[in-house]
Amino acid sequence: MKPFLCAFLLSLAAASADIDRTKKPEPGPAPVSSFPAYALKTLPSGLKVFVIEDDRKPTLTLRLLIKSGSASDAEKSGLAGFVASLLNRGTAKRDAATFASESDFIGMHVEAVAGADAIAVSASGLTKYTDKILDLFSDAVLHPAYPAEQFAKEQRKTLSALAAEKQEPSRLAEKLAGKVLYGAKNPYGAYRTPETVQAITRDDLVQFHKTYFVPNNATLAIVGDVKTADIVALVEKAMEDWKPGDLPAFKMPAPAEIKGVNIHLVNRPGSVQSNIVLGEAGPARNSPNVPELNVLNATLGGGFSGRLFQNLREKHGWTYGAYSAFDLRKYAGAFQANAETRNAVTHLAIAETLKEIARLRDEPVPEAELELQRQYNVGNYLLSLENTSRTAQRVQDIDLYGLPADFYKTYATRMESVTPAVIQDLAKTHLSTENVAITVVGEAKEIQPELEKIGKVFVYDTELKLQ
């Protein structure tokens, strides 16, 4: 430490007069956020492989995206979830215990999760185990056995987990909000229940896997300390048995229409806070205005400087956080604003949220505030480029959602050039104070009377059954 100290004392003496601490320091020129380079190789099977070379860590991460998710569950909600969670529980040549031992031994993780539009299968480990990682990963993706006994165990656990969810306010709010926003007949609004979980059979899993786990319905992203040509050759060999298949036609019903101001209240006795999700219809992921919508959302509820946070938390002290987001899916979307408030101010928080939405529709955002939000979005996009796995996901998103190839190349520029008029226009198109579905999980006897003054209240129990 000593040598540095000496050098430092000299510089202190020479320099202490250089700064004026009464003013915010001015920044240098902003760095340019260029989207990182990646390679695309299409294998003979039709599988698209994206590679991002990143030598910061001696690791390898694989993410296979199957472009069918829980929206393909049909009436058996939870099916894609089981297909995903059981992928690493035994294959044609390894039973569940063997698979676990072999992957645990090299510190490797293989996990799959089902989203609405896709299933993501991820594996990561040290590059020195590349061959073994590819062996286990391709075995899980291509040859899962779905052992009956493993399925029965997972089904049993899921039934217990569903019992637990009845006491988890955020899960209750999320499930009911999805249902009232997309509608009971839309797959995006569906959630698993004890009935749907028990209706699923092992054959359903095998069939789902056979139908959707085909290379022409997938992309693979590889990130790590690898050379593109080498890793692509290894992947091609590891997955050489994978053959394309015919995909069934997929028709997505339109989401339900949201009309009027309705409050869907889950009565959870004993709650000391209300979980509020104020929801509206929103655009799909491939809508032409997504960069601009991000700035609109940030202005309302994207972070600590958003209006909802400043109003509900910093001005009123009603909540720990208040945020909003567009939930942009492949075929439809939604807008949601969230807060958790003490019981007594539940209705006030909803009223202020509606007021903030109205203000965005009625008044242009002052230029200084908008400039802050532009910079917030552009800068945080730049910061996110540090995370190469996130970059890989974005490349896969372009393919999954059918976005323009240059979506992320023009992303920052578009957010940077959005005007107050554009924001107000978008607010008028996409945000409403008249057609709103508000989900609240809380203590009905304390909060219901005031909620009645805001809109029509529907009361549910913790099984989400309408009372």
**Is residue 75 involved in binding other proteins (CB under 8 A)?**
no
**Is residue 23 involved in binding other proteins (CB under 8 A)?**
yes
Closest CA to 258 of 453, 425, 432: 432
User: At closest approach, how far in Å is the CB of 453 from other proteins?
Assistant: 23
Residue 15 or 92: the one with the smaller Cβ distance to other proteins is 15
User: At closest approach, how far in Å is the CB of 331 from other proteins?
Assistant: 31
Q: Quick check: 424 and 363 in contact, CB under 8 A?
A: yes
Residue 42 or 170: the one with the smaller Cβ distance to other proteins is 170
**Is residue 227 involved in binding other proteins (CB under 8 A)?**
no
Binding positions for other proteins, 399-458, rule CB under 8 A: none
Residue 113's φ and ψ, nearest 5 degrees, are: -130, 145
**Is residue 299 involved in binding other proteins (CB under 8 A)?**
no
Q: Quick check: 442 and 273 in contact, CB under 8 A?
A: yes
Alpha carbons 189 and 195: distance in angstroms, whole number: 16
**Is residue 105 involved in binding other proteins (CB under 8 A)?**
yes
Q: Pick from 37, 92, 164, 249: which binds other proteins (CB under 8 A)?
A: 164
Residue 95 or 461: the one with the smaller Cβ distance to other proteins is 95
Closest CA to 194 of 463, 466, 467, 410: 463
Q: Pick from 35, 39, 46, 57: which binds other proteins (CB under 8 A)?
A: 57
Buried b (16+ CB within 10 A) or exposed e, 143-170: ebbbbeebbeebbeebeeebeebeebbe
Helix (H, G, I), strand (E, B) or coil at 460: strand
Q: Pick from 77, 85, 103, 219: which binds other proteins (CB under 8 A)?
A: 103
Q: Pick from 43, 126, 256, 422: which binds other proteins (CB under 8 A)?
A: 126
Residue 4 or 288: the one with the smaller Cβ distance to other proteins is 4
**Is residue 464 involved in binding other proteins (CB under 8 A)?**
no
**Is residue 125 involved in binding other proteins (CB under 8 A)?**
yes
Residue 16 or 246: the one with the smaller Cβ distance to other proteins is 16
Residue 81 or 283: the one with the smaller Cβ distance to other proteins is 81
Binding positions for other proteins, 312-331, rule CB under 8 A: 313-320
**Is residue 168 involved in binding other proteins (CB under 8 A)?**
yes
Closest CA to 254 of 281, 273, 276: 281
**Is residue 68 involved in binding other proteins (CB under 8 A)?**
no
Stretch that binds other proteins, among 13-21, 69-77, 280-288, 325-333 (CB under 8 A): 13-21
Angle subtended by helix axes 444-451 and 346-362, to nearest 10? 40
Q: Quick check: 50 and 396 in contact, CB under 8 A?
A: yes
**Is residue 254 involved in binding other proteins (CB under 8 A)?**
no
Stretch that binds other proteins, among 42-50, 56-64, 70-78, 214-222 (CB under 8 A): 56-64
Q: How many CB atoms lie within 10 A of CB 131?
A: 11
Q: Are strands 436-442 and 261-267 parallel, antiparallel or unpaired?
A: parallel
**Is residue 385 involved in binding other proteins (CB under 8 A)?**
yes
Residue 371 or 434: the one with the smaller Cβ distance to other proteins is 371
Binding positions for other proteins, 134-163, rule CB under 8 A: 153, 156-157, 159-161, 163
Tell me how far the alpha carbon of residue 160 is from its chain's centroid: 25
Stretch that binds other proteins, among 3-11, 202-210, 392-400, 453-461 (CB under 8 A): 3-11
Q: Pick from 201, 286, 289, 375: which binds other proteins (CB under 8 A)?
A: 375
**Is residue 122 involved in binding other proteins (CB under 8 A)?**
no
The number of residues that bind other proteins (CB under 8 A) is 92
**DSSP readout, 380-439?**
HHHHHTT-HHHHHHHHHHHHHHT--TTTTTTHHHHHHT--HHHHHHHHHHH--SSSEEEE
Question: Rg (Cα) of the chain, in Å, rounded?
Answer: 25
Return the structure tokens found at 119: 């299933």
Residue 1 or 92: the one with the smaller Cβ distance to other proteins is 1
**Is residue 106 involved in binding other proteins (CB under 8 A)?**
yes
Angle subtended by helix axes 130-142 and 228-238, to nearest 10? 40
**Is residue 29 involved in binding other proteins (CB under 8 A)?**
yes
Q: Quick check: 350 and 276 in contact, CB under 8 A?
A: yes
Helix (H, G, I), strand (E, B) or coil at 366: coil
Binding positions for other proteins, 263-292, rule CB under 8 A: 269-273
